[in-house]
Amino acid sequence: MNILYILLGWFLGILSPGITTKISNHYKKAALQRTIISEMKDIKIRLAGIPMTIHPAYGTLDMSLFKWVQEQTQNFTDFISDDNDAAKLEAADLENDDKIAKVIEAWNYKKKSDNPSFHFKKMDTSIADSNLINIEILDNNFIKKLLEIKFQIRAFNEEVQSVNEYSIMTFDSNMSGANHQIIQREIKQKNYFISKKAIYIVEKINSLVEFKKSRS
């Protein structure tokens, strides 16, 4: 009997480090996912408002885009930097498409301007980057989705850098009128691209969040 206890103790001693590591990794994985998801949600909020900034400035906000932005948090407060504008949208009657269409028409009219210019900020993924040392404990699909988001954010940031540089060029008093028009057309194209890229990244973040929920 004593030998049996000795053997059992020896066997459990062999298993114990593996069990401890597995339990530890489980909690580390959950904590790491929560940290990454929290950062991704913050990025989502900042990106989701970009179409509501760009399109009305060109008078091109439409129903599908308006509803998409609204669906991201069911309100506009997080997306609109101007408190008065946010309050007006929150107070607007959005019960049916006809009323929404009137709000969109008014919003385009109010925000549209000649040669609008924006200074976008790059998206930072420092929290996710600093935790990549432990990436091996995450699910492969979670990793794939995260890396896709990081790749798209890098492309977004490159475009932001480009359009910001073009915007600075418009203040050059020595630039000819023809070149100024060329730069403005380029800025408009880049702004639309930034809007599309922001929407794409938000959808990818939504997919990551849903994946995490399905595995919780």
- Residue 176's contacts (CB-CB under 8 Å, 6 or more residues apart) are none
Q: What is the pLDDT of residues 29-86, one digit of tens each?
A: 788 888 899 999 999 989 998 998 999 999 999 999 998 988 887 767 666 666 677 6
Distance CA 170, CA 175 (A): 8
pTM equals 0.83
Q: Which amino acid is at 57?
A: A
Q: What DSSP character marks residue 20?
A: H
| Contact status, residue 82 vs residue 28, Cβ threshold 8 Å | no
pLDDT at 43: 94
Helices 50-58 & 63-73, crossing angle to 10 degrees? Answer: 160
Return the pLDDT at 12: 47
**Cβ-proximal residues to 101 (8 Å cutoff; 6+ apart), any chain:** 63
3-class secondary structure, 118: coil
pLDDT at 92: 72
Listed as ranges, residues in the chain with pLDDT below 50 are: 12, 15, 19-20, 23-24
| pLDDT, position 20 | 46
pLDDT of residue 174: 83
Please give the pLDDT value at position 142.
87
pLDDT value at position 71?
87
Cα distance from N-terminal residue to C-terminal residue, the chain = 43
